[in-house]
Amino acid sequence: MNPLHFKEGEGGGFIRIGGIAKGSGMIQPNMATMLAFLTTDANIAQPLLQKTFAKLIDRSFNRISVDGDTSTNDMAVLLANGQSGTAELTEGTRAFDLFKDALEHVLVRLAKMIARDGEGATKLVEIVVNGARTETEALQAARSVANSNLVKTAIHGADANWGRILAAVGYSGIDFQPDLVELFFNELPILKPHYEIVIDEVKAKEIFSSENITITIDLHQGPASANFWTCDLSKEYVHINASYRT
């Protein structure tokens, strides 16, 4: 991708962030076959850059899954050469916050590109869980939905099967009240609390037929949210992984 330029606001000038990443099977990174290389000319101390990078990795690359198979050798590297000519970035400043947001933007964009580029994939799916008690629980529910072969085949078939989504939240292991759950496909309400089914099957199928789908689950249990990116599961995925040696 092209480097993302942004004006840092204090001290003037530009900082560039570039990134390259490679997927696209054995993907559910936990900084274990994914490779990502990032570069920036920001002027920033190594410890602060490492801390910031690790935190943002957890919100980008570590939130995608193609097949649920965590690789033994995922890697993300960020190199900073300090050549932007701007003042050194330090925590608690607006310049640092701008840099962090820009870095997150690049990381999330690369992560989504990997998920969309998954073996055999035809669609990018974002799972958003809102209203969880904690971010850990939100992430656990989102990951469970993202890794469900039944959800992923339904999406592949443009079958708006919301029951499979709820089932995957149910077996995710988090504690929640099923009767409070609200579900949306993009902006379309599917299920309202107290099991009020409001799905418009025609519109829902239209959404599931597109290449970018957002599934939002509101648990109404608390203030925490998390999102996660995945792709559909196709016959082509099976073909690639069953027959790649022949």
Catalytic residue positions, numbered: 33
Residues 5-44, mask of contacts with its own copies (x by CB under 8 A): --------------------xx-x-x-x------------
With vertex at residue 41, the alpha carbon angle to CA 35 and CA 47, rounded to the nearest 5 degrees, is: 70
Judged by CB under 8 A, the chain residues 42 through 71 that form the site for its own copies are 67-71
Identify the CA nearest to 39 among candidates 25, 24, 21.
21
**CB 71 → its own copies: shortest distance, Å?**
7
Assign 110 to helix, strand or coil.
helix
> Using the rule CB under 8 A, is 188 a contact of its own copies?
no
Identify the CA nearest to 202 among candidates 159, 154, 166.
159
**CB 171 → its own copies: shortest distance, Å?**
4
**CB 243 → its own copies: shortest distance, Å?**
5
> Using the rule CB under 8 A, is 214 a contact of its own copies?
no
> Using the rule CB under 8 A, is 164 a contact of its own copies?
yes
Identify the residue among 156, 181, 216, 230 touching its own copies (CB under 8 A): 156
Write the DSSP assignment of 140-204 as a string of letters.
Answer: HHHHHHHT-HHHHHHHHTT---HHHHHHHHHTT-----GGG-EEEETTEEEEETTTEE---HHHH
Judged by CB under 8 A, the chain residues 91 through 110 that form the site for its own copies are none
Identify the CA nearest to 38 among candidates 65, 18, 58.
18
| Paired sense of beta strands 64-65 and 224-231, if any | parallel
Identify the residue among 44, 103, 168, 217 touching its own copies (CB under 8 A): 168
Residues 222-241, mask of contacts with its own copies (x by CB under 8 A): -----------xxx-xxx-x
> Using the rule CB under 8 A, is 77 a contact of its own copies?
no
> Using the rule CB under 8 A, is 147 a contact of its own copies?
yes
Alpha-helical regions (H) of the chain: 46-57, 94-116, 135-146, 149-156, 162-170, 201-208, 235-243
**CB 234 → its own copies: shortest distance, Å?**
6
Between the alpha carbon of residue 64 and those of residues 85, 113, 115, 208, the distances in Å are: 34, 10, 6, 19
> Using the rule CB under 8 A, is 197 a contact of its own copies?
no
Assign 62 to helix, strand or coil.
helix
Closest CB to its own copies among 50 and 136? 136
Q: Which residues bind its own copies (CB under 8 A)?
A: 25-26, 28, 30, 32, 67-72, 147-150, 153-154, 156-157, 159, 164, 166-168, 170-171, 233-235, 237-239, 241-246
